[in-house]
Amino acid sequence: MSYSYDDQNIFAKILRGEIPCKKVLETEHSLAFHDIHPQAEVHVLVIPKGPYVTYDHFAAHASEAEIVDFMRAVGDTAKTLGLAPAQAEGGSRILSNAGPDAHQEVPHLHIHIFGGEFLGRMIS
Ligand code: 5GP
């Protein structure tokens, strides 16, 4: 897939404040907010603020500060929601769809965090 970033995608608009979101956590380089169509009792998205399309695009081009911030934001978001396995007996699942085969709908890197209920073996 192409790595040319479309700054008209919905998450770019959320980052610019043009579209509202239900924020969970914000750091210097990352934003976490509730998914508009939750597929689990708790369904949150964590995105980097930089213009990255997929996880491999991010890993290849983001600064170390952005990468550390994003990884911490994913963990801290789960913790904030009470889904970190050390806190919740139930645990959680993280997932990132990349490209057409995975049906990536929004071309801005996002990690889904699912939890708050029994998830079974797979959710997508
Ligand atoms: P993907 O299929 O790209 O992995 O997931 C995109 C996710 O973004 C979907 O779960 C979808 O519900 C969510 N989404 C799409 N538009 C919006 C929006 O405007 N606001 C929020 N909060 N989530 C959105």
Determine, yes or no, domain membership for 42: yes
State which ligand 1 atom lies nearest to the alpha carbon of 22: 22
Residue owning tokens 């479309």: 6
Domain that holds residue 58: 19-115
Answer yes or no: are the C-beta atoms of 23 and 33 closer than 8 Å. yes
Per-residue pLDDT at 3 exceeds 90: no
Determine, yes or no, domain membership for 81: yes
Residue nearest to atom 12 of ligand 1 (CA): 37
Going across the sheet that includes 111-115, the strands are: 23-26, 30-34, 42-48, 111-115, 92-95
Q: Is the ipTM of this complex over 0.90?
A: yes
Cα(37) to ligand 1 centroid in Å equals 7
Determine, yes or no, domain membership for 14: no
pLDDT for 2: 57
Q: Give me the CATH number covering residue 31.
A: 3.30.428.10
Answer yes or no: are the C-beta atoms of 124 and 35 closer than 8 Å. no
Cα(111) to ligand 1 centroid in Å equals 11
Determine, yes or no, domain membership for 122: no
Domain count across the chain: 1
Compute φ and ψ for 78, nearest 5 degrees: -60, -40
pLDDT for 90: 77
pLDDT for 78: 95
30-44: pLDDT as tens digits: 999 999 999 999 999
Determine, yes or no, domain membership for 30: yes
Instruction: Enumerate long-range contacts of 27-31, CB under 8 Å, 24 or more apart.
Output: 27/69, 27/72, 27/73, 27/76, 28/65, 28/69, 29/65, 29/66, 29/69, 29/70, 29/73, 30/69, 30/70, 30/73, 31/73
Give the residues surrounding ligand 1 with Cβ less than 6 Å away.
Answer: 10, 19, 21, 33, 35-37, 97, 103-106
Q: What angle do CA 11, 14, 19 make, to 5 degrees?
A: 125
Cα(44) to ligand 1 centroid in Å equals 10
